[in-house]
Amino acid sequence: MAAVDVATQLETLLRLQHDLALEHDIDRVLNRIVETATAILDAERASLFIVDTQRNELWSRVLTEGTGPGVSEVREIRLPLDGRSLAAEVARGGEVLRIDAAYDDPRFDPSTDQRTGFRTRTILVAPIDSRDRRRLGVLQVMNKRDGLFGADDERFVRALAGSAGVALEYVQLSTELAAERLRVVKVAEEERHRLARDLHDGVAQTLANTAIGIEIASKRALGDVNAALAELAQLRERLLESQKGLRDILFALRPVQLEDAGLPAAVRALAERIDGTNGSVVAARRVDSACRLVPEVEAGAFRVIREAANNALKTGRAAHVNLDVYDEEGEVVAVVEDDGRGFDVAAVLGSYASRGSLGLLQMRESARLIGARLSIDSSPGQGTRIRLRIPART
């Protein structure tokens, strides 16, 4: 078979780069790279392994049969990253590996051949790195149809690995972005859920009961005016209570102080509103930031502060909760400090998959979305301090 000439190699490589430029489907990326490798290197097979650092493994889903009459086969292989395989060795060492007689090489593991019936003769393995030199994968090409893999093949496989690196990096980025979008949606959904539940259990319930109460009082008024009046007075009390609940919900949705006078005013209003809950003393301690932030950033920061303060009251059962909002070195710093029960931060953050509530995650997410840094300091019996540092860009 005629060797593939350099112009064709270059053309194929450029076409591959073009095709994979904005491709976010990992399988399509893997297939295209493997296809290109077998075609250009005139090889029988190629596999691309992805490094899974979390599981300390290499995995691959592609295994092509080249151009033969057999259909190409797709399945998933997993190899330990610290195990004895050529792919793992290259993943660890980062050097291109060229082997002319696989069965004479002690590093070659023939068990895959035994399983698949394929017979490996020659091998070329190259690392695939991101631009910042993280190892993303390994490209392994087997059995050059005509003789041995040469220095030219090695050069080409390096170039191909470079393109593969860019493509895989893009896939990784878009996967992370998609996961982040999902988290944002989930957090917003949870918030709506909570508000809906509060409205349903509070205001909606009271309104329904009041309607019934008025009906009963009207009937009673015909026979016993005083009893009816007493009932109406009671209904009025309940309505006023429910109005307070509604105000709380409105405040939770968007405190007017925030828009009008910024974060310090909203935090002072919050302290006033929740002071005395469960017997806790809530105080605006050092609330003197003079810096106005972008409205969305103020809203995000306030969400974090409110959640932290509510936690201090609800689960912390703190006697004292102190709130600070001040300027420091080009940042607005917000602190919520309580002397309550405290908690094991790592344990709570690590158990969210099995928890119903997302409070702390919401805080982290809100902080990230507004470009702020959040620190959560707490341990059982030691109280809790939540600190938010918001860059004050103008």
Establish if 338 lies at the interface with ligand ADP (CB under 6 A).
yes
Residue 149 binding result from Mg ion, ligand ADP, none, given CB thresholds of 5 to 8 Å by partner type: none
Establish if 384 lies at the interface with ligand ADP (CB under 6 A).
yes
Q: Which is nearer to ligand ADP, 4 or 369 (CB)?
A: 369
Backbone angle region of 118, left / alpha / beta, with phi > 0 → left and psi within -120 to 50 → alpha: beta
Q: Residue from 342, 367, 370, 374 that binds ligand ADP (CB under 6 A)?
A: 342
Q: Residue from 340, 365, 370, 372 that binds ligand ADP (CB under 6 A)?
A: 340
Q: Pairing relation of β-strands 320-328 and 281-287?
A: parallel
Whether residue 31 contacts residue 14, with contact meaning beta carbons closer than 8 Å, is answered with no
- Write the interaction track for ligand ADP spanning residues 359-378; mark x where CB under 6 A is met and - where it is not: xx------------------
Which among 46-54, 112-120, 149-157, 340-348 is the span making contact with ligand ADP, rule CB under 6 A? Answer: 340-348
- The site for Mg ion (CB under 5 A) is made up of 311, 359
Residue in this structure with the two tokens 């301090």, named with its chain if needed = 385
Q: Which is nearer to ligand ADP, 56 or 357 (CB)?
A: 357
Give the residue nearest to ligand ADP (CB): 359
Q: Which residues are within 8 A (CB) of 51 and not within 5 positions of it... i.e. 6 or more apart?
A: 58, 81, 91, 135, 136, 137, 138
Both tokens of 321, joined, read: 């909760």
Q: Which is nearer to ligand ADP, 51 or 363 (CB)?
A: 363
Whether residue 231 contacts residue 216, with contact meaning beta carbons closer than 8 Å, is answered with yes
State how far Cα 179 lies from the chain centre: 5
- Measured CA distances, 1 to 4, 33, 187 (Å): 9, 22, 59
Q: Which is nearer to Mg ion, 340 or 359 (CB)?
A: 359
- In the DSSP assignment, the letter for residue 383 is -
Establish if 388 lies at the interface with ligand ADP (CB under 6 A).
no
Binding residues for ligand ADP (CB under 6 A): 311-312, 314-316, 338, 340-343, 348, 357, 359-360, 384
